[in-house]
Amino acid sequence: MKGLSIEVRVGLMILVAVAIAVAIYLTVGKVSLGSGYTIYVDFNNPGGVQKGAAVQVANVRVGQVDDIEYWGGRLDEKTNTRPIIRLKLNIEKKVQPTIHTDARFYVAQTSIVGESYIAIDPGDPEKPFLKNGAVVRGIDPPRMDLAFSMAFDLLGNINDLVRDNREELNGMLTSLANTFKSVDGLLTRNGDRIDRMMENVEDITVDGRATVKDVRGIIEGPHVKRSIKNADHVLDSVSKNIDPILADTRQITGKVNTTLDDVAGPSQRKQIQKIIANGEEITDKAKGLVSDATDITRRIHEGKGTVGAILMDEQLYDDIQEMVRDLKHNPWKLFWRE
């Protein structure tokens, strides 16, 4: 080294520095010198992705962004699409069989303020893989710059609204404060009356609950259950036999008409026919009453209607108790609705 000139020494140092830089680049950047294949990814806005950015699958680098081309919405006749930005990805050939036609390409970052890169979700292994030169659609990243711009614009509009309507807002706040003050004064002046009202409501609720409980006890008692069961049996029997009875009545009516033709005179025959018609009408009404009574009994058993709900629904008691408890703790609700 002592015999070398300064120029040679400087040249050797530069070569060594270049070699070290290349080694560091190849090691840290994990650049593959092998053959690769190309995939084109279209974005409306790829965010902070730059040329040379990494392409990763499951946080493993498998390629890089070779080029970023601005299309500006021009028609691509091969794909019949209008991309804004098209990224050219150079991906290692060995991973091609693992990136399928339903793969998703999106922009990610190494950290909140880190570099942007292209991340790939490989897709369904049962589907074919993307071929060399395939064009796919990428998922645009969220536009934080646009969000901040819209937020500042919104804050500016709010500031303008407050500044331009300061008097109206002051009037609204004053009216609201006066309203609260009036309500507070009303509650203060009528505190004793409200307490008595709450006590009366609670007493009424307790009495009503006891009354309903007694009524339910009577209804659910053995005598009432037996009566309802007998009534169901009678109504069922009448319902089953009413049609045969009506048929027999009509048959008898026909025979009576025939007999009347042979025995009675015209005036007597009309009177008897009127009596028989009235009997048939009464029978039809009885059938309707039986059907209605059966339906009412069934609805009461099922808890339908006002009577059924009162007698069969235990939730009614809980709702009344909850209403009284709420009014007791919040008496202002009698005067002010939310």
pTM score of the predicted model: 0.42
What is the percent of the chain where pLDDT is above 70? 58
| pLDDT, tens only, 25-44 | 655 444 444 568 999 999 99
Mean pLDDT of 134-150: 83
Mean pLDDT value across residues 94-122:
90
The tens digit of pLDDT for each residue in 281-315 reads: 766 666 666 666 667 666 666 666 665 555 555 66
pLDDT at 103: 94
- Compute the average pLDDT of residues 255-281: 63
Q: HEC states along the chain?
A: CCCCCHHHHHHHHHHHHHHHHHHHHHHHCCCCCCCEEEEEEEECCCCCCCCCCEEEECCEEEEEEEEEEECCCCCECCCCECCCEEEEEEEEHHHHHHCECCCEEEEEECCCCCCEEEEEECCCCCCCECCCCEEEECECCCCHHHHHHHHHHHHHHHHHHHHHCHHHHHHHHHHHHHHHHHHHHHHHHCHHHHHHHHHHHHHHHHHHHHHHHHHHHHHCCHHHHHHHHHHHHHHHHHHHHHHHHHHHHHHHHHHHHHHHHHCCCHHHHHHHHHHHHHHHHHHHHHHHHHHHHHHHHHHHHCCCHHHHHHHHCCHHHHHHHHHHHHHHHCHHHHCCCC
Identify the pLDDT of residue 33: 43
